[in-house]
Amino acid sequence: MSATDQSLTSGHKHNEIQRAIAPQAADPEAAEAAEERKTDRWLLRRISSFLGEPPLEFVVRGGARVRPASAPVARVTFASRATLVSILADPWVRLGDAYSDGSVTVEGDLVQMLEVVYRASAAADKPSWLRRAANLAHRPHLNSLARSRDNIHHHYDIGNEFYSLWLGSTMAYTCAYYPTPTATLDEAQTAKMHHVCRKLRLKSGESVVEAGCGWGTLALHMARHYGVRVRAFNISREQVAYARERAVREGLAGQVEYVEDDYRNISGHYDAFVSVGMLEHVGAKNYPTLGRIARRCLGSNGRGLIHSIGRNHPARMQPWIEKRIFPGAYPPALSEMSQIFEPSDLSVLDVENLRLHYAQTLRHWLGLYEAAGERVRAMFDEKFVRMWRLYLAGSIAAFSTGTLQLFQVVFATADNNDVPWTRAHLYT
Amino acid sequence: MSATDQSLTSGHKHNEIQRAIAPQAADPEAAEAAEERKTDRWLLRRISSFLGEPPLEFVVRGGARVRPASAPVARVTFASRATLVSILADPWVRLGDAYSDGSVTVEGDLVQMLEVVYRASAAADKPSWLRRAANLAHRPHLNSLARSRDNIHHHYDIGNEFYSLWLGSTMAYTCAYYPTPTATLDEAQTAKMHHVCRKLRLKSGESVVEAGCGWGTLALHMARHYGVRVRAFNISREQVAYARERAVREGLAGQVEYVEDDYRNISGHYDAFVSVGMLEHVGAKNYPTLGRIARRCLGSNGRGLIHSIGRNHPARMQPWIEKRIFPGAYPPALSEMSQIFEPSDLSVLDVENLRLHYAQTLRHWLGLYEAAGERVRAMFDEKFVRMWRLYLAGSIAAFSTGTLQLFQVVFATADNNDVPWTRAHLYT
């Protein structure tokens, strides 16, 4: 819809007149309309309060509006009072759903709009009663072996062709590493893989186990550039099929084995353990198990790296993302991540927070995604296009506002003194 | 004592004869002596078991001995059965005390001896009943304002002259940073200060607050090399007096203010917060308070650094060190350190583990300390000399075996996007 919607403008004028003449209004229809708008404004203010009073204009299509104290960054329009009421019953999930089905529209920059929402939410000293109630309604669930398989299938098996539209040529679906902010997506994904391999100080002839290997990009990179043998685990059937084909095509099938299995079934001994972008799906209760597995499969000179979305403090996953995009996902705080390492006496050597790199990665993904909008619509439908736009734009906003973090943690077995003396080797 | 103590050798021979003729011995004195040795061996085995069966020979002077399965790294001699019995009543504390007063002596390298003890203790699957009982006997105490003052006085106010004998010319009493393992102590201490300042990206004209400033070295370094104004807090009277005099002598009194006060009384607003080697004295219960203070004194582009001894997992302080050397000290695990940052929504940007640098720093300190042995003995007494030797050697062993860690944590306020894009600037 356009910013100069005619009926909305006239509705607004009508409303002013109504206010001027009320309560002496003789026209019962006008009085009723005024009453309706009053109710709508109350509902809009509840939404605004729920979101922490961000600088946004909230509008009911053709009716009431609520303006912020400062200049609005964007206008959010609700299709009807029914939309509003439905959202207020479960705002965390239904705002996202209403955006997806088009009953909520945004005029202005979607990323900026989401950024002000994240900032206002974080700044709100006391969450509204509605937010407190909504928080109680959403509890994370446990990730059993079977549940994990369903969750991963939900997100990663929706089609390799779809992902290839916007992930760039590396098909790496995790935060890239931009040596400079002007690097391209593919350059940054390649730099990320080198950064990880250097942090692990991989040497030719060594063996590596990878937990959660996506479309197999990092495993191939390690084998090709560092001469290591890799066993890479993943429970997404589509991704493993894609990765195996790629390994054959690239002549690396002798060095890289893709195993369609859960990280909990990793066996054998390796020089290094690596997991990039799997931890988000592990669930905090399973962290000690993950650490035990890493410890078990490493020798006394073992070292490892875990790369994960995280948080500054423990908080539940955004419920709409958890429900519609990533079932079972949970980004941990460092205190929670430490439960991977501490019970198994693994020694944390290095933590790097790359959150601004993830905002940049997501900007590149969203750009490619929007450019491929017609093809995505043809593959799925308009609702899907809007849903994934919201997810990508919301993720940019989450990283750029510091709502989400990206932690790369390097660790070693406790008695391993063959650790780098400084980190200078990463930068020369 | 010497490795070829005569009475010990003859005692050993006597013992062999005794074993050869028992139980038919007609000599009641010899039978009694054999019984005595049996008791002593039982006591020695209790000590060995308490320590996790390290490869050490344990001897009662002139009497029983217990040898390890593999070649012993050193010989530990107890002056008498009374010494042994007294130690077994509270081994954590009394082993250190007995070494200090000379009733326990070590032949062989003290650091290597302590390293095998740390390794054996860590490897022991099940702690002995004695160790479990000893663990219960030692509980950390809280650090109130008054208690903190007493604790700090106990360690840091024993004489600036004493510390100047072995800390090198910088008088920095924290882990140094060795760009290469061959750097000298002074070079490494200076490199550490630059490393900290680069991590904080200090710019000329900025203001810094320092919590726990020792003899004031870092504050002067920041002012001189980075052009910042510093307010530096410390509750050690001797250290503050020394630091103030130094600032005047070096012409930096206009830029650096030393405040004799507790970190909990820090007020004002600053661009950066820094604390190197104070956290060990804060106590885990006070971490959220420390974080609140850091958050309160930083603006929206605020950043900070906390440098502390730590652990791979929560564990109490070694009780002898806690009792005799550092009352109230506690080295935290990362899960515990995160309680500084998480409740105040501070964002951890970078964690670097420098434990091998602390082992190297301590080797340099111990070398200087031993070289100044006569002067230390003249200042205090032989017991003090042995006590501090044990503390320094034990600290080397703790860091070299991975029993202790050294964490440097860089953090920023959550919404600060003016953070370094990569860490390359630290290495160029």
**pLDDT at residue A1 tops 70:** no
* CB spacing of B348 vs A341 below 8 angstroms: no
How far is A405 from chain B, CA to nearest CA, in Å?
8
| pLDDT at site B316 | 86
Q: Domain-by-domain residue ranges, chain B?
A: 12-135, 145-426
| pLDDT tens readout for residues B131-167 | 766 666 665 556 777 877 777 777 777 788 999 999 9
| pLDDT at site A391 | 96
Which of B194, B308, B348, B425 has the most A C-beta neighbours within 10 Å, making it the best mutation to test the interface with A? B348
Which residues, 6 or more positions from A378, have their beta carbon under 8 angstroms from its beta carbon?
A: none
| pLDDT at site B382 | 96
Where residue A3 falls among pLDDT bands split at 50, 70, 90? very low
| pLDDT at site A25 | 53
Where residue B194 falls among pLDDT bands split at 50, 70, 90? very high
Is residue B111 within 8 Å of residue B399, measured between CB atoms? no
* CB spacing of B414 vs A122 below 8 angstroms: yes
Q: How many CB pairs under 8 A join A and B?
A: 127
**pLDDT at residue B11 tops 70:** no
How far is A149 from chain B, CA to nearest CA, in Å?
30
| Beta strands at A74-78 and A270-276: parallel, antiparallel or unpaired | unpaired
* CB spacing of A350 vs B352 below 8 angstroms: yes
Give B-chain residues touching A341 at CB under 8 angstroms. 312-313, 334
**pLDDT at residue B130 tops 60:** yes
| pLDDT tens readout for residues A83-118 | 999 999 999 899 999 999 999 999 999 999 999 999
CATH number of the structural domain A12-135: 3.30.1050
Where residue A17 falls among pLDDT bands split at 50, 70, 90? very low
| pLDDT at site B142 | 63
**pLDDT at residue B351 tops 50:** yes
Which residues, 6 or more positions from B243, have their beta carbon under 8 angstroms from its beta carbon?
A: B213, B214, B215, B216, B219, B220, B232, B234, B258
| pLDDT at site B135 | 65
The three-state secondary structure class of B409 is strand
| pLDDT tens readout for residues B409-428 | 999 999 999 999 999 999 98
Which residues, 6 or more positions from A293, have their beta carbon under 8 angstroms from its beta carbon?
A: A211, A263, A264, A266
A360-364, B16-20, B333-337: least confidently modelled range? B16-20
| pLDDT at site A154 | 75
Residue matched to tokens 């940019």: A396
* CB spacing of B402 vs A414 below 8 angstroms: yes
Average pLDDT score over residue span B343-364: 98
The three-state secondary structure class of B188 is helix
B34-38, B113-117, B148-152, B388-392: least confidently modelled range? B148-152
| pLDDT at site A122 | 85
* CB spacing of B334 vs A348 below 8 angstroms: yes
- Closest CA relative to residue A229, chosen from A260, A264, A253, A193: A253
Give A-chain residues touching B352 at CB under 8 angstroms. 349-350, 423
How far is A422 from chain B, CA to nearest CA, in Å?
7
| pLDDT at site B139 | 57
Average pLDDT score over residue span B12-26: 49
B116-120, B227-231, B250-254, B314-318: least confidently modelled range? B314-318
**pLDDT at residue A390 tops 70:** yes
Give A-chain residues touching B335 at CB under 8 angstroms. 334-335, 338-339, 342
**pLDDT at residue A10 tops 50:** no
**pLDDT at residue B214 tops 90:** yes
Neighbours of B206 (CB within 10 A): 18
| pLDDT tens readout for residues A338-376 | 999 999 999 999 999 999 999 999 999 999 999 999 999
pLDDT, mean over chain A: 90
Where residue B92 falls among pLDDT bands split at 50, 70, 90? confident
CA B122 – CA B215 distance, rounded (Å): 35
Instruction: Please name the residue of chain A whose CA is at the shortest distance from the CA of residue B346.
Output: A312
Average pLDDT score over residue span B200-222: 98
Of the candidates B333, B350, B422, which has its C-beta nearest A179's C-beta?
B422
A190-199, A201-210, A378-387, B140-149: least confidently modelled range? B140-149
Average pLDDT score over residue span A398-412: 97
| pLDDT at site B416 | 95
What single DSSP character describes residue B321?
A: I
Which of B116, B194, B306, B335 has the most A C-beta neighbours within 10 Å, making it the best mutation to test the interface with A? B335
Name the pTM for this structure: 0.91
**pLDDT at residue A23 tops 70:** no
Where residue B9 falls among pLDDT bands split at 50, 70, 90? very low
Give B-chain residues touching A351 at CB under 8 angstroms. 348, 350-351
CATH architecture, domain defined by B145-426: 3-Layer(aba) Sandwich (3.40)
| pLDDT at site A192 | 98
CA B270 – CA B300 distance, rounded (Å): 10
**pLDDT at residue B87 tops 60:** yes
**pLDDT at residue B221 tops 90:** yes
**pLDDT at residue A9 tops 50:** no
Phi, psi of A67 (to 5 degrees): -105, 150
Of the candidates A338, A419, A427, which has its C-beta nearest B428's C-beta?
A427
Give A-chain residues touching B346 at CB under 8 angstroms. 312
The three-state secondary structure class of A181 is coil
| pLDDT at site A327 | 84
Of the candidates A178, A312, A415, which has its C-beta nearest B402's C-beta?
A415
Give A-chain residues touching B355 at CB under 8 angstroms. 347
pLDDT, mean over chain B: 90
- Closest CA relative to residue B221, chosen from B248, B251, B194, B243: B194
Average pLDDT score over residue span A392-405: 97
**Helices (DSSP H) in B175-278: which residue ranges?**
185-200, 217-226, 237-249
| pLDDT at site B27 | 87
For the ranges A127-131, A198-202, B318-322, the maximum mean pLDDT occurs at A198-202
Average pLDDT score over residue span B198-218: 97
Where residue B10 falls among pLDDT bands split at 50, 70, 90? very low
Count Cβ neighbours within 10 Å for each residue of A194-206 and write b for 16 or more, e otherwise: bbbbbbbbbeeeb
| pLDDT at site A150 | 78
Phi, psi of B120 (to 5 degrees): -65, -40
Average pLDDT score over residue span A415-426: 96
| pLDDT at site B13 | 43
How far is A111 from chain B, CA to nearest CA, in Å?
16
| pLDDT at site B124 | 77
Fold matches, A12-135 and A145-426: no
Average pLDDT score over residue span A158-167: 92
| pLDDT at site B127 | 63
Where residue A385 falls among pLDDT bands split at 50, 70, 90? very high
**pLDDT at residue A291 tops 60:** yes
